[in-house]
């Protein structure tokens, strides 16, 4: 069974990781998209603890599919963590201009475009503020590939990327995120009524039990079924999503034509490049 997270250790490891990443990249400002959901609330709290509120820039980027309560929650989080540099930008005019230019989009294409507009907006500010875009993907979303490729997946670092969604909620409570937000049902809000667990077809608790058994305990699919961690249908859902979406976290494939491909060159030359004065 999925154990509880050691929240104190996680806080120490993640905040020192954030400080390290900003120091290595020689960047000043953490640019964070704050949705009113638990993942971005947790990342906001961690970046504030790591860098101080004056080095965080928060962006609240609702669309017509965002419930007003989420916007209120996002504003409350920004205020309660002491972040003074923040802005609220409604993204519908940008989305509408995509649709006017490209023609009508299907529901999912439009939702993914929202995520990509948010990504592009965060990168505008990252460049201006000498910043890095701090991602909010958690281990459950990343392993399932439950995110938009180059949308919310397009980020510079992933501080909670090693935490299952169940663990993110535990860490959120430890960091002082209000319970209502820490326990809010997850939703990408890419269309009205959109809920993550409904779309995935499983609770995150079940997803996390399956992923923990596969990844951390090294159990085989057969062992998971034998030990009744999950039913065949549940296991198929998780492994099926992983299979479909694995490409999202891998570098784009390049065919081999010359002696040394770009990826091979990077591996071979990494020492030379890093040690170059
Ligand atoms: N095998 C393959 N090798 C290389 N590339 C491949 C590929 N298969 C598809 N692709 C490419 O990937 C594209 C599909 O990926 P993508 O555009 O991401 O689209 P897709 O995975 O179809 O949709 C995104 C999913 O993520 C969910 N989401 C999005 C945003 C936030 C959150 C959240 O939790 O907050 C969740 C959303 O609800 C939806 O279920 C294809 O159009 C194609 O371009
Ligand atoms: N309305 C929004 N304003 C600003 N950023 C947003 C908005 N909606 C989504 N994002 C960004 O996209 C990320 C991915 O959304 P996602 O729904 O996975 O995270 P969340 O809302 O923080 O938590 P949960 O997954 O539990 O809903 C958010 O964490 C946030 O950084
Ligand atoms: Mg959400």
Question: What's the 3-state SS for 1-16?
Answer: CCCCCCHHHHHHHHHH
**What's the CA-to-centroid distance between 148 and ligand 1, angstroms?**
5
Note the pLDDT of residue 129. 98
Q: What is the pTM of this model?
A: 0.97
Number of H helices, E strands in the chain: 13, 4
Please tell me the distance from the alpha carbon of residue 120 to that of residue 115, in angstroms, as a whole number: 9
- Sign of torsion over alpha carbons 228, 229, 233, 235: negative
**What's the CA-to-centroid distance between 34 and ligand 2, angstroms?**
6
Q: Whose CA is nearest to atom 24 of ligand 2?
A: 186
**Any atom of ligand 1 within 6 Å of the Cβ of 212:** no
**What's the CA-to-centroid distance between 145 and ligand 1, angstroms?**
7
| Residue in 31, 33, 35 to alter for ligand 2 test, most ligand atoms within 8 A of Cβ | 35
Note the pLDDT of residue 116. 98
Q: Whose CA is nearest to atom 31 of ligand 1?
A: 147
Q: Counting atoms of ligand 1 from 1, which one is nearest the CA of 189?
A: 35
Query: What is the average pLDDT value for the chain, to the nearest integer?
Result: 97
Q: What is the pLDDT of residues 105-151, one digit of tens each?
A: 999 999 999 999 999 999 999 999 999 999 999 999 999 999 999 99
Per-residue pLDDT, averaged over 20-31, amounts to 98
Note the pLDDT of residue 78. 98
Note the pLDDT of residue 158. 98
Please tell me the distance from the alpha carbon of residue 229 to that of residue 63, in angstroms, as a whole number: 38
Q: Counting atoms of ligand 2 from 1, which one is nearest the CA of 168?
A: 26
CA distances from 224 to 3, 214, 219, 230 (A): 17, 8, 6, 6
Strand ranges in the chain using DSSP code E only, listed in sequence order: 29-33, 56-60, 85-88, 131-133
253 confidence band (pLDDT: 50, 70, 90):
very high
* 124 labeled binding residue: no
Closest CA to 206 of 178, 180, 236: 236
Per-residue pLDDT, averaged over 193-207, amounts to 97
Closest CA to 78 of 27, 115, 114, 40: 40
Q: Whose CA is nearest to atom 18 of ligand 1?
A: 148
* 169 labeled binding residue: no
* 136 labeled binding residue: yes
Q: What percent of the chain has pLDDT over 90?
A: 98
Q: What percent of the chain has pLDDT over 70?
A: 100
Per-residue pLDDT, averaged over 52-76, amounts to 98
Domains of the chain: 7-191 (3.40.50.620)
Please tell me the distance from the alpha carbon of residue 276 to that of residue 141, in angstroms, as a whole number: 37
Reduced 3-state DSSP string for 211-228: HHHHHHCCCCHHHHHHCC
**What's the CA-to-centroid distance between 41 and ligand 3, angstroms?**
10
* 37 labeled binding residue: yes
Q: Whose CA is nearest to atom 25 of ligand 2?
A: 186
Per-residue pLDDT, averaged over 173-189, amounts to 98
Tell me which residues have their CB closer than 6 angstroms to ligand 2. 33-35, 37-40, 59-62, 66, 118, 136, 152, 186-189
45 confidence band (pLDDT: 50, 70, 90):
very high
Q: Whose CA is nearest to atom 30 of ligand 2?
A: 33
Q: What is the dihedral of CA 39, 40, 42, 48, to 10 degrees?
A: 160
């Amino acid at each position: 069974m999925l154990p509880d997270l050691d929240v104190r250790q996680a806080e120490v490891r993640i905040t020192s990781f954030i400080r390290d990443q900003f120091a290595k990249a020689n960047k000043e400002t953490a640019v964070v998209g704050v949705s009113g959901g638990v993942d971005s609330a947790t990342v906001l709290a961690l970046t504030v603890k790591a860098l101080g509120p004056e080095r965080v820039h928060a962006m609240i980027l609702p669309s017509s599919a965002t419930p007003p309560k989420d916007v209120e929650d996002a504003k409350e989080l920004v205020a309660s963590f002491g972040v003074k540099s923040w802005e609220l930008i409604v993204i519908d005019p940008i989305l509408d201009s995509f649709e006017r230019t490209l023609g009508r989009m299907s529901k999912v294409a439009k939702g993914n475009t929202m995520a990509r507009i948010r990504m592009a907006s965060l990168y505008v500010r990252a460049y201006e503020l000498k910043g890095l875009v701090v991602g909010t993907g958690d281990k459950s979303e990343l392993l399932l590939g439950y995110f938009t490729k180059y949308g919310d997946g397009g980020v510079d670092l992933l501080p909670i990327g090693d935490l299952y969604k169940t663990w993110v909620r535990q860490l959120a409570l430890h960091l002082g995120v209000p319970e209502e937000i820490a326990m809010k049902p997850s939703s990408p809000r890419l269309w009205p009524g959109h809920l993550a667990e409904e779309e995935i077809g499983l609770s995150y608790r079940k997803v996390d039990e399956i992923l923990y058994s596969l990844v951390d305990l090294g159990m085989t699919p057969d062992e998971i079924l034998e030990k009744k961690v999950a039913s065949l249908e549940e296991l198929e859902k998780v492994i099926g999503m992983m299979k479909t979406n694995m490409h999202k976290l891998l570098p784009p494939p390049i065919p081999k034509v010359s002696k040394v491909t770009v990826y091979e060159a990077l591996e071979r030359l990494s020492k030379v490049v890093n040690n170059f004065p």
